[in-house]
A = this chain, B = another copy of it.
Amino acid sequence: MKKELKAYETLEPLFNPKSVAVLGASTNPYKIGYIQLKALIDGGFKGDIYPINPKASEIEGLPCYPSITAVPDEVDLAIFCVGAEQIQDNLQVCAKKKVKAAIIFASGFAEIGEEGVMLQQDLATIAKEHGIRIIGPNCVGLVNTTNGMIGTFSPAILAVPLHEEKAVGYVSQSGAFGVLTYMAAAQKGLSFNYFASVGNEMETEFSDVVEYMIHDPKTKVITGYLEGAKDIKKLRRLAKEALNRKKPIALMKTGRSTAGSRAAASHTGSLAGSDLIYDAFFRQSGIVRVDDYEDIITFSKLFLSNRLPQGKNTVLITSSGGRGINEADRCEGLGLNIIPLSEKTKTEIKKHIPSFGSASNPIDLTAAASVTNPELYIAPLRALIADPEVHNIILTEFPLYWEADNPYLQEFIELCKNSDKFVFITTFPLDGMSVPKGKETLEKNGIPVIPGDLNPIKGLAKLVEYSESYRKHQQKTHQQEDTTIKRIDISHIRGTTLSEAQATDILDIYGIPTTKRTVATTAEEAVQFANAIGYPVVLKVDSADIPHKTEADAIRLNVQSANEVMKAFTEIYHNAKTYKADAQINGIAVQEMLPEGTEVIIGATKDPNFGPVVMFGLGGIFVEVFKDISFRVAPLTRADAVEMIEEVKGKALLKGARGKAQSDIEAIIDVLLKVSQLVTENEAVIEELDINPLIVYEDGVKAADAMIVINKDVIEKSVVGR
């Protein structure tokens, strides 16, 4: 009996087909049917190649077949070098032939509008019915450089020579940019094992390729170009799996700017979510966000050196004071710490360098080091390796003429190998005169040598970020999470916005601290409740129809006595009715009056791409003027909640700035996690939630106001009325 294949296993015939048929193979060297065939031959594809062309008997020495059904053996992969109008029929034929996978280059599908969408749906139906895995349409193709499966019509791919190490996969939502990146990376020292341009992602999407690479033992780093993920939850699940396997995912996610995201939204029809949320999502999922193809190169090369940075503490060793200062600025600008060295380390270094050098970080060995006295590198390196405060050592410049067998080079390598420091060399980018002769030996021993114009320091900063995510993930896997699922009952809800009392009741269910309160329907009841709560109290209208209570003058603070309660009740009721005659008023809520504290806002919205997203910020100008807020996609882990608070600048106020008392940050974390649970468990129902403000005290917090908006569709299904 045949074992059921996992989804990523069914992609095997795309990446590692035993046989490939080229539909529309051509004898005309300017046609893609020829270019594709030639690419397979020139790429040295290790399996069988079947050109399909009814008019030719052979092309480039390979026998042609009139149709795919005429091929005598099994065909794993069909590459479609035909126009949009010929795809559907050909795909039917492939289905009959039991072809397992296909690459479709042709444009003219979903990206051109309605008509194309229909055409594409037809293809998708055939693919689904017959279990054919498809890359495209509207793509540049798929390449496996480890077996010569060059499934692309872009001949430029073959124009750049490959490097020996091929352990980085690359998947792109942009064809042309993907090809450019593939080539630039190869020219600058990094060859991909896989290259996939996913085009319209009709059947196989971006995340599917990521999943394949996660399970592929040849791939150590997964990189890509992303405009917008089709299925965020899937990507999040995969990111977790990749962390489990210590396999970094580094993506260039474009659309940071307004113009960029506008363009990304229209390009290839992909979904571009809010960039801020993407940032948060990547951070919490341990996906590394890079800015350019250069970062993909440097990040990958540094990761492939086979050790992870222990932290941010970085020391620069230079032979040019000026360059040292410049690179120190760069490091700190990228979040690395150029730490002051201990007296012990400095004293040791001073013994070995010229008097006009510098034993402080950045360490300046002076020009003598790179020109006349290269042995100057050894003693400072030894001292730094012995210093437990140091995590990373970056050498700018390096003795260029140290041959592989130079004893100092050997000593240098031995020192690095026997330490846990992350060490690399970034040379000043001068053509033909800045690569040390010992480069190959250095790199073989885990010490990357990268020219400065690729900005490897940024690569290090990204690797430190990954390293932190990885460490946090390892700790996280030992935590147990609360698994009791609650569901809020909205059967009695009228309209889409809940009244404050209704919203607050829901917070209560989840154990979020709220004010003592009761909704009174008569002035007498109000007095009774106020007496029970204790003075002073707050009175406010409770009505889903009046969300802006201040505007309606339907709120009274600091109500001190029974008499005042009576008066406030009457006024509020009157004002509310004046403000909105047809408002359905549940009553007047009587609440305890909260003492002053620090006001924060905790909110959640349902994003069309990400689902529920939780927001945190301090009240007032922090949010309105400084946009000083942080996001995380729900569900949150405790670490996410901690980071959300750490990320806002206003946290200084929570920690006691401006004479304020230290706030109860644990209590805020607790509310963030409970809100996360609430919006996750009720994702179908809750569109929006706001606790504004949550008042934070030295000991504890209280939600002073709450707002919840309910999904209309759900309401229409369950509306009961009252």
Q: Which residues of A contact B (CB under 8 A)?
A: 107, 111-112, 156, 159, 172-178, 180, 183-184, 187, 225, 227, 252, 254-260, 262-264, 266-268, 292, 294, 319-326, 328-329, 331-333, 338, 340, 355-356, 358, 360-362, 364, 367, 428-431, 433, 453, 620-622, 624-626, 628, 649-650, 652-653, 657-658
Contacts and interface: CB of A to CB of B under 8 A. Distances in A.
Contacts of A266: 358, 360
B259 A658 contact: no
Contact of A320 (B176, B264, B364): B176
A609 to B, nearest CB: 17
A176 B257 contact: no
B364 A267 contact: yes
Given A180-B430, A266-B358, A356-B111, A259 B328 contact: yes
A23 B229 CA distance: 69
A303 B333 CA distance: 28
A360 B262 CA distance: 9
Contacts of A111: 356
A159 B431 CA distance: 11
User: How often does this chain occur in the complex, in copies?
Assistant: 2
Nearest to A332: B257
A691 to B, nearest CB: 20
Contact of A321 (B176, B326, B340): B176
A69 to B, nearest CB: 32
Given A107-B356, A430-B187, A625-B649, A267 B325 contact: yes
A230 B681 CA distance: 65
Contacts of A429: 184
A364 B107 CA distance: 15
B319 A176 contact: yes
A28 B177 CA distance: 54
A119 to B, nearest CB: 14
Nearest to A372: B30
Contacts of A430: 180, 183-184, 187
A319 B356 CA distance: 53
A257 B433 contact: no
A428 to B, nearest CB: 5
A367 B176 contact: yes
A681 to B, nearest CB: 35
Nearest to A627: B649
Given A332-B260, A362-B259, A180 B428 contact: yes
